[in-house]
Structures are given as structure tokens and as C-alpha cells.
Structure 1
Amino acid sequence: MDKLPNDPMMLFSAVNTLLRDNYHSLDELCDDMNIDRAELEKKLAAAGFKYDKAHKKFW
């Protein structure tokens, strides 16, 4: 995840912005950026965020 911020709050913001502006799904973002989805979700879950597929963003 070298392409994304390490800080959980910055990561939360960056991922949601990318999802809103550039990607149709979390899978598409992870595939395109070569990011392990499970690792990303685990890191954001540790900060209290969970992915909502219906809204296409972390809450």
C-alpha cells in the first residue's frame, strides 16, 4: 500500500475519494493499485471503519 497514506484517517479519506472519483468498486481500486483488499480493510477496521458496498465507501 505504498501508494496510499499510512495514517488511518488520511487513508480513509484517500480511499473514499478514489472510490467516489475514479472507481466503481473497492475490488476495482485494489486490482488497479495492486493493493491487498483484506489488508486495506483490516487497517481501516482497526480505526473503526467498515466498507459499505451499497454506498461504495468506508464509514
Structure 2
Amino acid sequence: MSLTNFKTMDVNILLSIVNMQLRDKYSSLNDLARYYDIVEDELCQKLAAADFHYDAKSNQFK
């Protein structure tokens, strides 16, 4: 699933997709953002609006 339209996605679906991608394919949020050619800060802001924040140690949003 593509994340290019993450700005319009339901935040809970976005969280699920991002965490799955981080778990299965990408060793960091930066790698995921680079692969999908999205702005990492914008993705973080979208998820932070729903009180989800990236934890680099576990490589997931919580």
C-alpha cells in the first residue's frame, strides 16, 4: 500500500500501515519516508495530531 496520500488517510489506518511497514521492511522512519518520497515531519505531524509519536528505539509509533 502506498503512503503517498497519507495526508488524507484515516489516522488509525495510517498508524497501522506505517507501523507494519516499519516492522516488516524499514529499519527507520527516515528509510520509510525516503522510499515513499514523503516528508517525514509531515507524517509525524499527522500522527502526532492523534497523539501518536515515533519511538526510534522500538521503530514504531505509539
- Percentage of pairs with the same residue: 41
TM-score w.r.t. structure 1 length? 0.92
- How big is each residue's C-alpha offset from its partner over 1:25-59, in whole Å with a ceiling of 9 and x where there is no partner? 00000000101100000000001100000000000
CA RMSD of aligned residues (A): 1.2
Selected match of 1:25 from 28, 35, 50 = 28
Q: What runs of 5+ residues in structure 1 fail to find an aligned partner? A: none
Size of the aligned set, in residue pairs, is 58
In structure 2, the partner of 1:46 is 49
Runs ≥4 residues deviating over 4 A: none
List runs of 5+ in structure 2 lacking aligned partners. none
